[in-house]
């Protein structure tokens, strides 16, 4: 498998965390979500937060956001 294709199976591209996260690079090894404030330490591996709970500040600044959690849908409901 090529390196670029392998990256698609790593977080955040593996669809494990909510697709509602608005990720940005906070520091050399940490990503953070502008919407909920959660952070992710990249060298630690794993996955980001499954749900994205929008902060009141985010909802005030983005009235178009419906406030949904954006949990991943599964074939099992």
Domain ranges of the chain: 14-77
Residue 59 CA to residue 8 CA, distance in Å, equals 30
Q: What is the DSSP-derived secondary structure letter of residue 25?
A: E
Q: What is the DSSP-derived secondary structure letter of residue 68?
A: -
Query: What are the tens digits of pLDDT across the range 27-70?
Result: 888 889 999 998 888 887 666 777 888 999 999 999 988 887 76
pTM above 0.95, yes or no: no
Which residues fall within 8 angstroms of residue 23, CB to CB, at 6 or more apart?
12, 31, 32, 33, 34, 40, 48
Q: How far is CA 54 from CA 38, 40, 58, 72, in A?
A: 10, 16, 6, 16
């Amino acid at each position: 498998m090529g390196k670029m294709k392998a990256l698609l199976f790593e977080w955040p591209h593996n669809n494990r965390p909510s697709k509602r996260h608005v990720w940005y690079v906070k520091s050399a090894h940490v990503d953070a979500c502008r919407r909920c404030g959660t952070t992710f330490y990249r060298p630690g591996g794993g996955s980001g937060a499954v749900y994205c709970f929008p902060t009141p500040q985010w909802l005030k600044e983005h009235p178009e956001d419906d406030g949904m959690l954006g949990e991943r849908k599964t074939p099992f409901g």
